[in-house]
Amino acid sequence: MSERKATVASRVGLHARPAAIFAEAAGELPLEVTIAMEGEPAEDAMDASSILSLMGLGASHGDVVVLRADGDGAEEALEGLAQILETDHDA
C-alpha cells in the first residue's frame, strides 16, 4: 500500500471545481485510489474518483489529506494526484 500526504491548496477548500478536476484524474487511473483526512483510519477512506465523496470530506484550505493506492505504478499515480491537490485551481 502506497501513501502520499497532500495539503489542499485551493483557497475555498476541496469544493466543486477542484474536486471535479481531482475526481476526474483519479477516475482515469487504472488503480483504486482512496482519500481520507490526515489522522483518520484507513478503513474510513473514501473513493477518490467520487466528486460527492470529495465534497463530503469537507477538506478546507490548508488541511492535510492522505491518498492511498495499491499496485503497479501506485507511487507515481499518487504523486500526480497530490500535485493536483497542491495547486490552487481558483487562482
Residues serving a catalytic function are 15
In angstroms, the CA 45 to CA 1 distance is 13
- Give the range of 3-11, 18-26, 35-43, 73-81 binding other proteins by CB under 8 A: 18-26
- 53 is a site residue for other proteins (CB under 8 A): yes
Q: Cell 460527492, residue? A: 52
- 19 is a site residue for other proteins (CB under 8 A): yes
In angstroms, the CA 31 to CA 17 distance is 23
One-letter amino acid of 32: E
Nearest distance, CB of residue 83 and other proteins, angstroms: 20
Q: What is residue 23's DSSP assignment?
A: H
- 8 is a site residue for other proteins (CB under 8 A): no
Nearest distance, CB of residue 16 and other proteins, angstroms: 4
In angstroms, the CA 37 to CA 72 distance is 24
Q: Which residues bind other proteins (CB under 8 A)?
A: 12-13, 15-17, 19-20, 23-24, 27, 46-47, 49-53, 55-56, 58
